[in-house]
Amino acid sequence: MLKTYKFRLYPTNEHINKFTQQFGAVRFVYNYALEQKIKVYENENRSLSRFDLNKMLPELKKKNEWLKETNAQSLQEANIDLESAFTKFFREKKGFPKFKSRKHPVQSFHIPQHYSVDFENNTVKLPKIGIVKAKLHRRFNGILKTATVSGNRAGQYHISILVDDGKEVPTKHLFDEQTTVGVDVGLKHFATLSDGTKINNPKYLQLSSFKLSILQRRLSRKQKGSNNRNKAKVKVAKQHLKIANQRKDFLHKTTSKLISENQAIAVETLNIKGMLKNHCLAKSITDVSWSELFRQLEYKAEWCGKTVLKIGQFEPSTKICNVCGYYNREMTLSVREWKCPDCNAVHDRDINAALNIKTFALQKQNLLTVGTTG
């Protein structure tokens, strides 16, 4: 089973210069390869594979001597990344690959092999760079696969290591109505469970908006190109990073709890991209990070042999009475509690939706994705 471990790096100034050079080299090769693919397709109506692009690297190094100072395999990985981008474009309609910019907030490069991790001394040895101090807070056993070194605007560097621990993916556990929980996500409450539990929305971005606005205002007043402006940029980046880390920590704790306490989790498919077009709610929807919630639930469920059930986005989970099935067509977003005119049951909007999501998910004809049950 493949797992990724991410660690903080503490490079020296010499290491930082080498990282910057490696970021630039990989970005240069990626942009060159993308330019060549576009030109060849327009002029000759054929496509270049990553093997064709790798054959161009020796000649490219002759014209650009500085590329020889970087890890050759990292440059080849740039061509693999480009091929993956085109695969997503054709198969998943993810958008045509774009040229990489040095102004992007996160820069990275891959190292497929010839690196090592020393847990005793808390160091990582990287080709063409040397031994770098790291905070190896978690040990792992297995075969080292590709490592990714990344840097952000806050001046922090990390390494993500893909490890094959040799374990098989566990078989899915059996689940039934008692061991399945329905989850309805929202803005007022981050999530409402079918057992009546409500998880509050921490609203990290909203809580930090005042401090963030002050830092951004200070940044706007600094002279362009000055050292003070660069320092102000770092302060803004660190504040954004703090918010992102708070959100990730909350999501990891929430998803781990849901996975450990239930055999199956039922969720609703959401058109988040379409919902973001509502400019009144876009900021709050971005802050709550539903996509990351669903992503974490899926991979953690696979690790633990649990199941994530998804119902269609057009299922009227909010408007249907979970007791008698009455369809309340008049319900609006402002209604938080309503009474069923048929059975007189009083419903909390979110709890009712969570119960319906669970019911719909356990009906196979309504499932989009169903894990095996044995």
276-325 pLDDT, tens digit per residue, is 888 888 999 999 999 999 999 999 999 999 999 998 888 888 889 988 88
Report whether pLDDT(237) > 70. yes
Q: Are 152 and 42 in contact (CB under 8 A)?
A: no
Domains of the chain: 2-158 (no CATH), 180-201+246-369 (3.30.420)
Percentage of the chain modeled with pLDDT above 90: 75
Catalytic one of 77, 81, 83, 184: 184
287 is catalytic: no
Rounded to whole angstroms, the Cα distance separating 187 from 205 reads 13
167-176 pLDDT, tens digit per residue, is 898 999 888 8
CA distance 46 to 39: 10
What is the mean pLDDT of the segment spanning 351-369?
78
- Alpha-carbon separation of residue 351 from 135, 196, 247 (angstroms): 42, 6, 24
pTM of the model: 0.87
Q: Is 195 a catalytic residue?
A: no
Give the C-alpha separation, 281 to 69, whole Å. Answer: 48
What are the pLDDT digits (tens) for 100-130? 999 999 999 999 999 999 999 999 999 999 9
Catalytic residue among 268, 287, 298, 342: 268
Band of pLDDT at residue 371, cut at 50, 70 and 90:
very low
131 compared with 94, residue with greater pLDDT: 131
pLDDT in tens, 174-231: 888 899 999 999 998 999 999 999 999 999 999 999 999 999 999 999 999 899 999 9
Structural element, H or E, at residue 106: strand 106-111
Q: What is the percentage of the chain residues whose pLDDT exceeds 70?
A: 97
Residue 348 bears catalytic tag: no
CA 335 to chain centre: 33
Residue 60 to residue 35: CA distance in whole angstroms: 13
